[in-house]
Every structure is written in C-alpha cells, then in structure tokens.
A = this chain, B = another copy of it.
C-alpha cells in the first residue's frame, strides 16, 4: 500500500475536522432541552430521543478534549457546555451516583446499576473543567472519580446478580478504565494517587488478565488471575484487549518504559493474529478461548470501535517502537476499516457490520455508539502520524 505518513496525518485530521465533527455538530444537539441526541440514522436524522449517560458524557468529553488539545473554538465550548449543564442538573441520583439513561427532558429512566456511567462522567467533567475553568465542573469530576474508587470492588452494587462466593470473578473493564481515567485526570489528582492507581491497575491488567503463555487478554478471571472454565471465564473480547494495550502503552510512555511498551505491542499483534477473520477480513467481536460456541450471538460481527481501537494501538505501537509488524498490521487494518466502516456518502462511520462486512444496522449513533470512538481514534491516529512524520523528516 505504501502509506505516506504525512498524508495519513492529513487524512485523519481531515476526517475528524471536516467530516465526523460536523456530523455531530449538525445533527446531535438538543439546544431545546440540553444534552445530545445520539440515536441518529445514516443521514443524521434523530430516531430516538432518550439520553444514555455513557454517550452524553462521552460527547462532553470529546468536544472538551478538542478544546484542550487543539483550540478553544467557541462552538465546541458551547456544545460541551450544553451537555455538561444538562448532565450536572439531571444525571445523578440523590447519592451522587450516575444514572444509566434519562428521557429527553432529563427524567431518570434507568438506575445507576454500574460504575461506567460514573467513569465517563469523571472523564467528561475533568476535560470540561480544564476547558471551562469552572470550579463546579471540577467538583463534579472529583465526585464521580471518588464514586468509581468507592464502588470499584462491587461495581454493580445491589444490582449484582452473582451469588456470593461460589465463583469469584473479576472483570478487565474495571482496572482498564480506571487506568485510562486516572491518566486523564492527572491534573486533578495528587501525584501520589496518580502513581499509586496507575501502578496498581497496570500491574493488575498485565499480571491477572493477560495470559502470558497464549498472549491473550481475558475479560474475566478469578481474583488470583487464574482461568475459570465457564462462558464468562472463557470469553475473549479482542477489541477490548487491544484497547487496554494502548492504554498501557500510553501510561508506560510517561516513564519511557520500553519493556512494558513492547510487551503491550506483542499482545496487540497476538490478539490480531488470533481474532482476524481470515475468510472475510476484520476482527471478530467475541471469541471463546477454548473454541467453544460463545454465548454472545453477535460474536462474528464487525464493530466500528474494535477496528478503530486497533488502528490507534497499531499507530501508537509503531510510533513508540518502530516495529515492522505494527506497520504491516496497520496497513491491513487501515484498508479494512476505511473501506468498510467509513461512509463516503453521508459521512461518519457505520457502527455495525455483519461478518461479511455488510451494514447490519444502518445507523451512525444509537444506544452505544455516539460521538466518541470515531473522533477519539481519528484524533489519536492523526497525532501519531503527525509525530511520526516529524520524526522522519
């Protein structure tokens, strides 16, 4: 393929600024009631007005992050603020826990049944506080972060359906998101908390969830990191494992810890080899580590975020290590992702393809896809190629 690094940086920058952000700027704003519409069809038309807290917070994060990293555009601040104010007013219950879903008007629909809403709130309000310099936003961020720390050992609280003690199991999602979140909130945390949490979470991810022998990330393991022979214990979520690995690279980079960076790259490459669909291309969504039928019926589908996180991991891995395998895999993934997911006709990216790469759900946003993975990955890939092309000059 022979990609030119400078052209790649341009491609990502252009897609972010002239395609993806305008799509959300144009179609997703609820100026009337506050917050965002995330259920957008292929052309951007709103087909459902419920407000899902993950996606509301993630859109606040995206526009605030761009204000902090690129430029403080008035329009971006206005968009971030439209979500942040709506969320600060309606997003939490009396104990300060973040709901899962609200009506368009902000009435609660679904209770705070896990801590991920709080994670995304912490990320969103940390970026928004930095961009807006508003003290109240800082407080919202800190409170959400403390919720996560407080609830992390029992993230579902009273909604946890697991019978106590029969089969103890912990999930990758918790340390993984805590690691990324803590790095995001660096400016708000004491350096002691920062280093402690990063150390602990990275160690937990690498020592407990990574199967060193197989080079695969497991979604759920026993508290001591051993495997559990059950549906949950056997499940591999390749996109999640790859995303976790670029979080690790990002953290290791701060200390020039090239050993950890190389290990993370090894795992990315190994997961890609394992999860690549040699018949139709793309990465499977779920697999069973023992080759049994997975319980997820959507296991063979190709999802936008899985492929975007892979592009980020490979571009970052290549930038940090220069390893040839990263580049080779990057080119393969680039060809697949840009041909199948990017919608040349109406803009933005498709979210859900079937195994053959045909569009399965004709939407740009829904209950789980919002203004987050696409712009974040485009931004990060742009930055990696920008850095690479200046290195090579």
A contact set with B: CB distance below 8 Å: 39, 41, 47-48, 50, 99-100, 103, 107-111, 113, 158-159, 161-163, 166-167, 229-231, 290, 292-295, 297-301, 352, 354-355, 360-363, 366-367
Whether A301 contacts B293 by the Cβ 8 Å rule is no
Q: Which 5 interchain pairs have the tightest Cβ spacing? A: A297-B298, A108-B163, A293-B361, A47-B292, A293-B363
A162's partner among B39, B111, B292, B293 (CB-CB below 8 A) is B111
Q: Assess whether B231 is in contact with A110, with CB atoms less than 8 Å apart.
A: no
Contact between B295 and A298, CB atoms less than 8 A apart = no
Copies in the complex: 2
21 contacts between A and B (CB under 8 A): A41-B292, A41-B293, A47-B292, A47-B293, A48-B230, A48-B231, A103-B166, A103-B167, A107-B163, A109-B167, A110-B161, A111-B163, A159-B161, A293-B363, A294-B361, A295-B367, A297-B298, A298-B298, A299-B361, A300-B354, A354-B354
Nearest Cβ on chain B to A223's Cβ, whole angstroms: 16
| Interface secondary structure of A, over-half rule | loop
A162→B110 CA distance, assembly (Å): 5
In-complex Cβ contact of A295 among B100, B158, B366 (8 A)? B366
Measured between beta carbons, the chain B residues less than 8 angstroms from A352 are 297
User: Which of chain B's residues have a CB closer than 8 A to the CB of A167?
Assistant: 103, 109
What is the bound-complex CA distance between A229 and B109, given in angstroms? 14
